[in-house]
Each structure stands twice: as structure tokens, then as C-alpha cells.
Amino acid sequence: MIGYYLDLAGRSLRRNVSLTLLMIVAVGFGVGASMTMLTVMHVLAKDPIPEKSKVLHYVQLDPRPLRGYSPGEEPLEQMTRQDAETLVREHRADRQALMTGGNATLVPARANLDPFNVDARWTSNEFFSMFDVPFLKGGPWSAQDDTNHGRVAVIGKQLAEKLFGSTDVVGFPVQVETTEMRIVGVLDDWRPIPHFYDLASDVYGQGEQLYVPWTTSRDLSLDRSGNMNCWDSKHDDPTVLGAPCEWIQMWVELDGDAKEVAYHDFLANYWADQVRSGHYERPVNIRLRNVTEYLDFNKVIPDDAKLGTYVALGFLIVCLVNTIGLLLTKFLRRSSEIGIRRALGASKVSIFVQLLIEAGVIGLVGGLLGLVLAGLGLWAIRHGASSYGDLAHLDMPMLAATFGLAIVASLLAGLLPAWRGCQVAPALQLKSH
């Protein structure tokens, strides 16, 4: 019967082309606008590291003085250098890394290339294994390089191609500011979305192309970037060890609940030690959020994207209400045909299904139009000013979701008209036909 109903739907839709087009356009525009924004949300809200998002944890402590303390408040967003370096040295988690964003001027060996700045990350060697960073060539620097303040670097694929015209550059020297470093690894394309491990930098940006050991970066006083907050001014340089400033992110990998509890206990003991030694004044206030919790807490999705999504979904509802009205008109104008079919043996359910399939066909065609419009919408976003614009692409799941939304939306829109249609009293229609 489905084939028969599809045939009837086709005939019915061809009968009044302008009304049909109006409904298709309503569904298409509603779906197109919604899918544009839902695609953006889908990209922005996705888990950046799904296989490890439950085992990677962001560490937060609070070494600020008791003055100004409010019970229940959040600890510091980032860590002091003193705390971060101590915790990494303690090495109590499966893996751990401290880091900050930075930038540096590179001086290319190629004569035809001027010095240029790159975004960088100063971190420790377990950063790469902890975040499953893909290497094209070579690998991370060693723990010994961290300890020995090694003059080594890992660079991104794009930077390798820019500097050398090749990615096969392990062992090559690269001049960072005034220091020559040896390239130990070249990364494949890697752009976690969002840039979860440091939300103080561009959350949906391109990421870094240069990675240097933390210890080396402090030796060379390489520029840092991102937020920094200090609560005392007893140090001229806020980046030195012991300065009362938070500016470092610290991540740990804890595989399992037991390890998470144990690490939390370790942090509590660390806190107690710091209180005893006079470095900490506040009551214990530790946060150890995994990636999902950390992103949820920080509400990383931009407000304009959220607002756009609400507006688009509102527009879809308006389009569907219009479609309901049009379908209702269309179906009730066919009351006489419905009456005839009922007299000839169609049950109310048969009529309901027939009319719902007709609404579904409108949804399917509307979905095709919606797909084209969503493509145009995403193109406009890609060429707009938003930081996440270049991420706005329709992938296969969202392509399927577009059709799904169109069909579900039109079926929902068709429910009331189809129900009203199947309630037509056949006797009345047959006499008045």
C-alpha cells in the first residue's frame, strides 16, 4: 500500500503545484536555516577527544590568600608555575603535562623567506601521548629533554612545509628567536575542536605549529600568551618560579575512578602541605574535571551560535505552523475524495497513513531544498567574521539529519491535518459531492 499511497501523493501534489511549492519552500527554508545552525552547533559542541575525554582531567587549585575568600567559590582557572612544576615533578598521574600558549619569531634558513611569528605551545613531553597527537615524522622529545632544557622542537606539518618545503625534516635545525633548535617530530594535521586544553586561547582557532619544552621556554624567556592573573606584586616578573600568578594549564591522565580518587587525595595532601608551609591559606578547594565536564562548565559554545540556533529553530516552527495550515486546507478540500475512499473500504487509519505519506513526500522534497539552503547558509558562515566559520561544513551525519529533520518536521506538521482528514464524515461528503 505504501507504493499506492506514494503514487496518490504524487498525483495530489501535482494537482496544485503552487500550493505544493509553497509548502516545500516553507519546509525547505525552515529546515535549511535550522540545519545551518545545528551543523554549526554540532561542530562546536562535539567531543574533541572522544576516546579519552573521560580520563583526561584539568587540575585546578587555589593558592590565593584568605582575604576575599567566599565559601563555595571556584578555585583559580589556571595554576601557578610553582604548583604546576611541582605536580609534574611528582608524577602521580598516569600522564601529566603543564603548558601555556606562546608565540615566537622563526628565522627561516631559506633566503627567500622573511622571519615570521607562529603560535606556539610551551609544554612537557607527555603532552603528545596524553592528547594522542598524531605524528607524521619523528616523535615527541624525551623526558630527558624536559629535564635538560633541551633545544628541541616539534613542529606542525604546515610549518614544516612553509619552512622547508617538505615534512621530512626530523633532525633539521630551526631558529626560534635567537636560539637554534633541533626538530624531533613533525605533526600531522591536528586541530582539536574546541581547543579544549587551553580555553584561554582561541577556542576554535587553528591551534599551534610550534612546540618547545617548557623548561627550555623558561630558560629562553619565550613570550607567553593567554590569560594571567596575579594577586600580589612582590615579583617583577610574573612568570618566575614563586610568582603569585596563575597562567599555566595542567592536565593529567587518570585511567579509572580509583586513580581519580587517589589523585584527588594526593592533591588534598599537597594542599595540606602547602597550608602547613604557609603557601596556602584557603580551605581545600580542588577541581579535577574531565574534558566533558570542563567544557560543559566553561560553556565554550559562543553565544551568537546559540542565539542563531534558537532563532533558526523558531523560524522552523513558524514554517511548520504555516505548513500545517496549508496541509489542513489541502486535505479538507479533498473531503469528497476522502468520503468516497471511506465508502469504498478505506479505514480511518488508511486515510491517515495516506495523508501522512503525502506530508512526508513534501518533507522529503523540502529536505532537498533545505539541504541546498543549508549549504548556502554554511557557505555564508564560512565567509563571515566568526572565529568558528571555517569549521562550518556539512558532514554525513548532518546530511542524514537534514533529511531526517525535514521528514520528521513535515510528518509532525502533517499529523493534525491528516487526523482531521481521516475524521471526515463520509456520508455527508457523498451526498454533497
| Residues at the interface with another protein (CB under 8 A) | 1, 4, 11-12, 15, 336-337, 339-350, 425-427, 430-431, 433
Angle at CA of residue 117, ends 116 and 119, nearest 5°: 150
For residues 104 and 221, what is the distance between their CA atoms, to the nearest angstrom? 11
Q: 15 or 91, CB closer to another protein?
A: 15
Q: 15 or 89, CB closer to another protein?
A: 15
Report the Cα–Cα distance between both ends of the chain, in Å, rounded.
26
Closest CA to 240 of 225, 226, 219: 219
Angle at CA of residue 44, ends 39 and 49, nearest 5°: 120
Q: 126 or 358, CB closer to another protein?
A: 358
Q: How do the residues of the chain divide into helix, strand and coil, expressed in percent and rounded to 5?
A: 50, 15, 35
185 — phi, psi (to 5°)? -160, 150
Q: 7 or 132, CB closer to another protein?
A: 7
Report in angstroms how near the CB of residue 350 gets to another protein at its nearest.
6
Closest CA to 265 of 289, 250, 286, 292: 286
Contacts of 82 (CB under 8 A, 6+ apart): 63, 241, 242, 243, 279
336 — phi, psi (to 5°)? -65, -40
Q: 295 or 338, CB closer to another protein?
A: 338
C-alpha cell at 267: 592533591
Report in angstroms how near the CB of residue 301 gets to another protein at its nearest.
49
Q: 268 or 427, CB closer to another protein?
A: 427
Q: 45 or 340, CB closer to another protein?
A: 340
Per the CB < 8 A criterion, the answer to whether 250 and 98 are in contact is yes
For residues 101 and 225, what is the distance between their CA atoms, to the nearest angstrom? 5
